[in-house]
Amino acid sequence: MGTEIERKFLVTHTTWKQAAHGVRYRQGYLVADGERTVRVRVAGERAYVTLKGRTTGISRAEFEYDIPLPDAAQILDALCPKPLIEKTRYRVPHQGLTWEVDEFAGENEGLIVAEVELSDEAQTLELPDWVGAEVTHDRRYTNASLSRYPYRLWKPQT
Protein backbone atom coordinates (compact mmCIF):
# COMPACT_ATOMS: atom_id res chain seq x y z
CA MET A 1 0.00 0.00 0.00
CA GLY A 2 1.23 3.51 -0.82
CA THR A 3 1.16 6.16 1.87
CA GLU A 4 1.09 9.92 1.42
CA ILE A 5 2.52 12.00 4.28
CA GLU A 6 2.01 15.65 3.49
CA ARG A 7 1.89 19.12 5.03
CA LYS A 8 0.21 22.09 3.37
CA PHE A 9 0.78 25.85 3.76
CA LEU A 10 -0.46 29.13 2.36
CA VAL A 11 2.02 31.03 0.20
CA THR A 12 2.82 34.60 1.24
CA HIS A 13 4.71 35.93 -1.81
CA THR A 14 6.01 34.81 -5.20
CA THR A 15 9.82 34.71 -4.85
CA TRP A 16 9.56 30.92 -5.31
CA LYS A 17 8.34 31.49 -8.87
CA GLN A 18 11.62 32.95 -10.18
CA ALA A 19 13.21 29.60 -11.02
CA ALA A 20 10.11 27.41 -11.23
CA HIS A 21 8.50 25.83 -14.28
CA GLY A 22 4.79 25.07 -14.05
CA VAL A 23 2.57 22.33 -15.45
CA ARG A 24 -1.17 22.87 -16.02
CA TYR A 25 -3.45 20.53 -14.10
CA ARG A 26 -7.12 19.80 -14.55
CA GLN A 27 -8.79 17.39 -12.15
CA GLY A 28 -12.14 16.21 -10.94
CA TYR A 29 -13.58 13.87 -8.34
CA LEU A 30 -15.71 10.79 -8.90
CA VAL A 31 -15.92 10.16 -5.14
CA ALA A 32 -14.98 12.46 -2.26
CA ASP A 33 -16.90 11.43 0.84
CA GLY A 34 -14.37 11.80 3.67
CA GLU A 35 -13.62 8.08 3.81
CA ARG A 36 -12.18 7.85 0.30
CA THR A 37 -11.38 9.97 -2.71
CA VAL A 38 -11.26 8.90 -6.35
CA ARG A 39 -9.71 11.58 -8.53
CA VAL A 40 -9.02 11.84 -12.26
CA ARG A 41 -6.23 14.22 -13.21
CA VAL A 42 -4.65 15.53 -16.38
CA ALA A 43 -1.18 16.93 -15.71
CA GLY A 44 0.34 18.34 -18.87
CA GLU A 45 0.28 15.48 -21.35
CA ARG A 46 -0.24 12.68 -18.80
CA ALA A 47 -3.34 11.43 -17.04
CA TYR A 48 -3.95 9.52 -13.82
CA VAL A 49 -6.61 8.02 -11.63
CA THR A 50 -5.82 8.30 -7.92
CA LEU A 51 -7.48 6.56 -4.98
CA LYS A 52 -6.95 7.96 -1.49
CA GLY A 53 -8.12 6.78 1.91
CA ARG A 54 -9.14 8.65 5.04
CA THR A 55 -6.51 11.02 6.47
CA THR A 56 -5.12 10.10 9.88
CA GLY A 57 -2.81 12.77 11.26
CA ILE A 58 -1.00 13.87 8.09
CA SER A 59 -0.97 10.42 6.43
CA ARG A 60 -3.32 8.49 4.20
CA ALA A 61 -3.29 5.55 1.83
CA GLU A 62 -2.74 6.56 -1.78
CA PHE A 63 -2.68 4.62 -5.06
CA GLU A 64 -2.11 6.28 -8.44
CA TYR A 65 -2.25 4.79 -11.93
CA ASP A 66 -1.63 6.11 -15.44
CA ILE A 67 -4.67 6.16 -17.71
CA PRO A 68 -5.01 7.17 -21.38
CA LEU A 69 -5.23 10.94 -21.83
CA PRO A 70 -8.39 10.79 -24.03
CA ASP A 71 -10.14 8.65 -21.38
CA ALA A 72 -9.24 11.14 -18.64
CA ALA A 73 -10.52 14.08 -20.69
CA GLN A 74 -13.82 12.28 -21.33
CA ILE A 75 -14.21 11.31 -17.65
CA LEU A 76 -13.54 14.90 -16.53
CA ASP A 77 -16.00 16.33 -19.03
CA ALA A 78 -18.78 13.75 -18.67
CA LEU A 79 -18.60 12.18 -15.20
CA CYS A 80 -16.98 14.57 -12.71
CA PRO A 81 -19.12 17.18 -10.96
CA LYS A 82 -18.22 20.77 -11.75
CA PRO A 83 -16.36 22.93 -11.12
CA LEU A 84 -13.19 21.06 -11.94
CA ILE A 85 -9.95 22.00 -10.21
CA GLU A 86 -7.75 24.05 -12.52
CA LYS A 87 -4.24 25.01 -11.44
CA THR A 88 -0.62 25.30 -12.39
CA ARG A 89 1.72 23.21 -10.27
CA TYR A 90 5.30 24.29 -9.75
CA ARG A 91 8.00 22.09 -8.22
CA VAL A 92 10.36 24.11 -6.05
CA PRO A 93 13.41 22.55 -4.35
CA HIS A 94 14.23 23.71 -0.81
CA GLN A 95 16.54 22.15 1.79
CA GLY A 96 16.61 18.74 0.09
CA LEU A 97 12.84 18.51 -0.35
CA THR A 98 10.64 19.29 -3.33
CA TRP A 99 7.76 21.64 -2.58
CA GLU A 100 4.73 21.61 -4.87
CA VAL A 101 3.21 25.06 -5.21
CA ASP A 102 -0.30 25.17 -6.67
CA GLU A 103 -1.49 28.42 -8.22
CA PHE A 104 -5.22 27.96 -8.74
CA ALA A 105 -7.29 29.26 -11.65
CA GLY A 106 -10.97 29.17 -12.54
CA GLU A 107 -13.32 29.03 -9.54
CA ASN A 108 -10.35 28.97 -7.13
CA GLU A 109 -8.35 31.81 -8.67
CA GLY A 110 -6.39 33.84 -6.14
CA LEU A 111 -5.50 30.85 -3.96
CA ILE A 112 -1.86 29.68 -3.82
CA VAL A 113 -0.86 26.79 -1.56
CA ALA A 114 2.37 24.85 -1.10
CA GLU A 115 2.62 21.26 0.01
CA VAL A 116 5.54 19.03 0.79
CA GLU A 117 5.64 15.25 1.08
CA LEU A 118 7.59 13.82 3.99
CA SER A 119 9.14 10.43 4.68
CA ASP A 120 7.47 10.21 8.11
CA GLU A 121 5.13 12.30 10.25
CA ALA A 122 7.87 13.29 12.71
CA GLN A 123 10.26 14.60 10.02
CA THR A 124 11.56 18.06 10.85
CA LEU A 125 10.93 20.72 8.25
CA GLU A 126 12.65 24.01 7.52
CA LEU A 127 10.11 26.32 5.93
CA PRO A 128 11.00 28.50 2.95
CA ASP A 129 10.59 32.25 3.52
CA TRP A 130 7.66 32.36 1.08
CA VAL A 131 5.56 29.97 3.18
CA GLY A 132 2.97 31.31 5.62
CA ALA A 133 0.30 29.72 7.79
CA GLU A 134 -0.02 25.94 7.89
CA VAL A 135 -3.39 24.66 6.65
CA THR A 136 -2.69 20.91 6.75
CA HIS A 137 -5.65 20.23 9.03
CA ASP A 138 -8.03 22.75 7.46
CA ARG A 139 -10.19 20.58 5.18
CA ARG A 140 -11.29 23.62 3.12
CA TYR A 141 -7.88 23.59 1.43
CA THR A 142 -8.10 20.05 0.07
CA ASN A 143 -8.66 19.94 -3.65
CA ALA A 144 -11.73 17.76 -3.15
CA SER A 145 -13.24 20.43 -0.88
CA LEU A 146 -12.27 23.21 -3.30
CA SER A 147 -14.17 21.39 -6.05
CA ARG A 148 -17.35 21.48 -3.91
CA TYR A 149 -16.89 24.86 -2.23
CA PRO A 150 -14.55 26.98 -4.39
CA TYR A 151 -12.31 29.67 -2.96
CA ARG A 152 -14.21 32.45 -4.77
CA LEU A 153 -17.25 31.70 -2.55
CA TRP A 154 -15.35 32.06 0.74
CA LYS A 155 -16.03 35.06 2.95
CA PRO A 156 -13.29 37.74 2.73
CA GLN A 157 -11.95 37.09 6.25
CA THR A 158 -10.87 33.47 5.47
Q: Which residues of 17-39 are buried (b: 16+ CB within 10 A; e: fewer)?
A: beebeeeebbbbbeebeeeebbb
Q: Which positions are annotated as active-site residues?
A: 29
Give dist(CA 141, CA 158) in Å, integer: 11
